[in-house]
Chain A
């Protein structure tokens, strides 16, 4: 396993920035290790926590938010533990994945209640500001029970932002949102990150992370597989060997021709056709039709194998 480290550029900010620190954090349930020896330091800006379902992202976020004790290691916010320490919520906000809201309240009542529970000096103004931030003013006096999933999510974000926390943790914030709501949420996270807040959001969808975050932490099977600049990790993901199943009118002749192609790293001739390994996805898929055409071979089938996110992630662990 290798970790790619990248310099984190902290944006200029007038507020005191908060740092969320994880030192050798593990969490296990009986014999099952959900999070395995993770260390990271989160500073201002937007960070994406990327990983397939079941990688332990939620467990990690719950430990960061003080809702779970680490079995080993320590999670601290500005040097103080998050576990059994309600005081951290003055600087930390959480939007959990579970779509749990008080459906009997209106968004305004819900956010106002949050402001009051935070004992803010002017809860009304804070609630209005937070609702405006997520652009929910038009629907703020309707019961949350009547909201769409995306609107509920925004109400929850408003409640989590009402005390202007330095650190905001969001678990799969884009789940169930339509493209427009998604875009809006992405812009919001960007703005918050640019304003010097520490934003961490989890996602199992590569593209979501790509659009929001410059920095990513990739988690696979409870471990931190890679961390650093998104483009570096993306390049690693794109340049990994790809496997294709190819079936043609003359598999043997095609295999011979393909071996001469630079982007191909291996060919296997089987009963069902060819299994081709290519180092460069684009170069191979462009070269194949030309090679086949030149030799009068007709390609009947071209299937990329094992393109699941899980396989991409596990490649990263091995890389």
Chain B
């Protein structure tokens, strides 16, 4: 493990905001278990719990908390200066942080989604949801890490993207689905384990290409922005 990822992981788990990660995945599993226990038809509870909660809320919100935490929190409290005053090419700072963000998000979201998927349909669906969520975690993390460097309010802008763009506009204006990571995740999961429970809004090639473009594009952008990272003069 590189020193940057070690410090990043320590910072992430050392902050109290990490506790914010727990309630949503727990809620997801709880709803799935209760629905199953009460014998509700998976066709009824599957879409709202798996997609409505799991892919539309838990995945992006966890990615937002973690993605803005790995770099944005360090920029906020100024500790980023310690890492930046080292003779490291900036990609050696961005990539480990992105890896930690993606890894933590993927594990936090994939496990409850797997459990819910198994309860709703089959192990196949559980694995498909987990794999697609891990891919989505990469795209979201790249976006939110880059946002930390593009704006001083990455959490707010991230929420606007998740809630307004993906949550609201994608349901009203279908064209916006092309720029919705949530839709890519649904399309990929549906391709891996086709069921009635998932309804893809974009084609699989579009989802694959856009996920790659977003992941690579925002990573490159983040590296470039970190090269020109400015500390605002506080006494001037």
Interface residues of A (CB under 8 A from B): 27, 29, 32, 34-35, 53-59, 62, 65, 67-69, 84, 86-90, 92-94, 96-98, 100-105, 113-114, 116-119, 159-160, 222
Contact = CB atoms under 8 A, between A and B. Distances in A.
A116 B3 contact: yes
A225 to B, nearest CB: 16
B7 interface: yes
Contacts of B229: 67
Nearest to B6: A113
Given A67-B230, A86-B90, A94-B81, A58 B3 contact: no
A100 B78 contact: yes
A32 B235 CA distance: 13
A56 B233 contact: yes
B14 interface: yes
Interface in B211-236: 227-231, 233-236
Given A54-B235, A58-B233, A117-B4, A98 B78 contact: yes
Given A102-B10, A102-B11, A94 B85 contact: yes
Given A100-B78, A102-B79, A113-B6, 9 more contacts: A56-B236, A59-B235, A86-B88, A97-B234, A114-B82, A114-B86, A117-B4, A118-B86, A119-B87
A89 B233 contact: no
Interface in B165-193: none
Interface of B: 3-4, 6-7, 10-11, 14, 77-79, 81-90, 227-231, 233-236
A72 to B, nearest CB: 16
B231 A96 contact: yes
A104 B11 contact: yes
Contact of A69 (B78, B85, B87, B230): B230
A68 B233 contact: yes
B235 A113 contact: no
Given A56-B233, A96-B81, A89 B228 contact: no
Nearest to A104: B14
B85 A93 contact: yes
Contact of B10 (A87, A105, A119): A105
